[in-house]
Amino acid sequence: MLIRSLAYVGLTTRDLAGWESFAGEVLGLPADRAGDRLLLRMDERIYRFDLRQGEREELAWLGWEVASAADLAEVERSLTAAGLPVHRADDAECADRRLIGMISVRDPAGVRHEIGYGQEADFRPLRLTRPLSGYLTGGFGMGHAVIGVKEYDETLAFLVDGLGFRISDTFGGFIAFLHCNPRHHSIALVHTDEPGLRHIMLETTGLDDVGATIDVCLSRGIVTRTLGRHTNDRAVSFYLSTPSGWEIEYGWGGIEVDSADHSARQLVGPTSLWGHQHLVDNEIRSS
Domain annotation covers residue 83? yes
Domain annotation covers residue 177? yes
Query: pLDDT tier at 260 (50, 70, 90 boundaries)?
Result: confident
Query: pLDDT tier at 209 (50, 70, 90 boundaries)?
Result: very high
For the CA atoms of 174, 242, 8, 150, the dihedral, rounded to the nearest 10 degrees, stands at 30
Q: Are the C-beta atoms of 226 and 250 separated by less than 8 Å?
A: no
- If asked whether residues 149 and 98 sit together in one domain, one would say no
Identify which of 65, 49, 186 has the alpha carbon closest to the alpha carbon of residue 119. 65
- If asked whether residues 180 and 73 sit together in one domain, one would say no
Mean pLDDT (whole number) for 23-41 = 98
Query: pLDDT tier at 283 (50, 70, 90 boundaries)?
Result: confident
Q: Are the C-beta atoms of 102 and 114 separated by less than 8 Å?
A: yes
CA distance 13 to 37: 10
Domain annotation covers residue 230? yes
CA distance 98 to 92: 10
- If asked whether residues 145 and 72 sit together in one domain, one would say no
CA distance 102 to 107: 16
CA distance 124 to 209: 22
Look up the domain containing 15 and give its range.
5-117
Instruction: Provide the residue type at 231 as one letter.
Output: T
> Residue 286: is its pLDDT beyond 70?
no
What CATH number does residue 14 fall under? 3.10.180.10
Instruction: Provide the residue type at 207 as one letter.
Output: L
- If asked whether residues 267 and 163 sit together in one domain, one would say yes
SS3 string, 66-115, reads CCCHHHHHHHHHHHHHCCCCCEECCHHHHHHHCCCEEEEEECCCCCEEEE
Domain annotation covers residue 122? no
Looking at residue 281, what is its pLDDT? 73
> Residue 287: is its pLDDT beyond 60?
no
The predicted-structure confidence for 121-150, as pLDDT tens digits, reads as follows: 999 999 999 999 999 999 999 999 999 999
- If asked whether residues 219 and 166 sit together in one domain, one would say yes
Looking at residue 4, what is its pLDDT? 98
pTM of the model: 0.96
- If asked whether residues 159 and 280 sit together in one domain, one would say yes
Final residue before a domain boundary, out of 86, 117, 148: 117
Q: Are the C-beta atoms of 106 and 112 separated by less than 8 Å?
A: yes
The predicted-structure confidence for 227-240, as pLDDT tens digits, reads as follows: 999 999 999 999 99
> Residue 285: is its pLDDT beyond 80?
no
Taking the CA atoms of 229, 207, 16 and 59 in sequence, report the sign of the dihedral they define: negative
Q: Which residues contact 215 (CB under 8 A, 6 or more apart)?
A: none
- If asked whether residues 180 and 244 sit together in one domain, one would say yes
Average pLDDT score, the chain: 96
For the CA atoms of 54, 59, 61, 63, the dihedral, rounded to the nearest 10 degrees, stands at 120
Q: Which residues contact 34 (CB under 8 A, 6 or more apart)?
A: none
Number of domains in the chain: 2
Mean pLDDT (whole number) for 102-109 = 98
Domain annotation covers residue 125? no
Q: Are the C-beta atoms of 117 and 101 separated by less than 8 Å?
A: yes
- If asked whether residues 88 and 207 sit together in one domain, one would say no
- If asked whether residues 201 and 234 sit together in one domain, one would say yes
Domain annotation covers residue 23? yes
- If asked whether residues 268 and 239 sit together in one domain, one would say yes
- If asked whether residues 182 and 274 sit together in one domain, one would say yes
**Pairing mode, if any, of strands 31-34 and 87-88?**
unpaired
Query: pLDDT tier at 282 (50, 70, 90 boundaries)?
Result: low
- If asked whether residues 57 and 160 sit together in one domain, one would say no
Domain annotation covers residue 47? yes
CA distance 110 to 61: 10
Phi/psi class of residue 284: alpha, beta or left (left: φ > 0; alpha: ψ in -120 to 50)? Answer: beta
The predicted-structure confidence for 34-48, as pLDDT tens digits, reads as follows: 999 999 999 999 999
